[in-house]
């Protein structure tokens, strides 16, 4: 029985590496996978899922108006894997449930749950509401040894918690932290 999985974490937890590993495992068994990545994330080139370890492969680019159900219907894969699921729209998440329920294709989505201001991304909110299984991918705090659950954004070397929700970057701009370090670094009262 197919299910919709949402596997979330902060940055640097290995989400993209997991997608590439799962795709490899399916294909090693001569099964077809359909990979999606958002158009907005072009840090390593458009249509590329890239791990920080250097592994990379092509994926179908999704925009906010991409009909993921139609693409699944055309390709009929054995599994669908989505990177950066926080950038999905609510409507696309609902389409993912239709892929699972009507086409009986498992869908595994990886992404961030919350942004650096500690607000949910709209795609993540929809995934939390509609997914059959929700799993946390563990990451370690940049400053201590606790589990990281939040992001701190840096601008000009200083932590900030205001600005646009979406501003792509890596370790140069964001670090994963625990709640205590988040509060301390941002001096939240």
Identify the helix (H) or strand (E) that includes residue 103. helix 90-103
136 is catalytic: no
Q: How far is CA 56 from CA 12, 25, 122, 168, in A?
A: 16, 15, 27, 18
Residue with tokens 């979406």: 166
Q: Which residues are within 8 A (CB) of 38 and not within 5 positions of it... i.e. 6 or more apart?
A: 61, 62, 63, 83, 84, 87, 88
Q: Which of 84, 136, 167, 187 is catalytic?
A: 84
Q: Per-residue DSSP letters for 58-98?
A: E-EEE-TT--HHHHHHHH--SEEEESSGGGS-HHHHHHHHH
Q: Which residues carry out catalysis?
A: 84
């Amino acid at each position: 029985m197919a299910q919709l999985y949402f596997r979330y974490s902060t940055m640097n937890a290995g989400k993209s590496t997991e997608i590439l590993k799962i795709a490899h495992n399916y294909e090693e068994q001569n099964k077809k996978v359909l990979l999606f990545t958002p158009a907005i994330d072009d840090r390593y080139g458009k249509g590329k899922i890239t791990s920080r370890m250097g592994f990379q492969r092509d994926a179908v680019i999704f925009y906010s108006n991409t009909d993921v159900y139609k693409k699944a219907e055309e390709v009929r894969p054995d599994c669908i894997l989505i990177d950066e699921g926080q950038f999905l729209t609510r409507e696309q998440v609902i389409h993912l449930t239709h892929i699972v329920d009507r086409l009986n294709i498992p869908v595994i989505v990886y992404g961030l749950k919350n942004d650096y201001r500690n607000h949910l991304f709209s795609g993540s909110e929809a995934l939390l509401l509609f997914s059959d299984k929700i799993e946390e991918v563990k990451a370690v705090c940049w400053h201590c040894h606790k589990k990281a659950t939040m992001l701190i954004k840096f601008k000009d070397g200083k932590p900030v918690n205001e600005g646009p929700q979406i501003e792509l970057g890596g370790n140069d701009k964001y670090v994963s932290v625990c709640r205590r370090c988040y509060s301390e670094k941002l001096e939240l009262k």
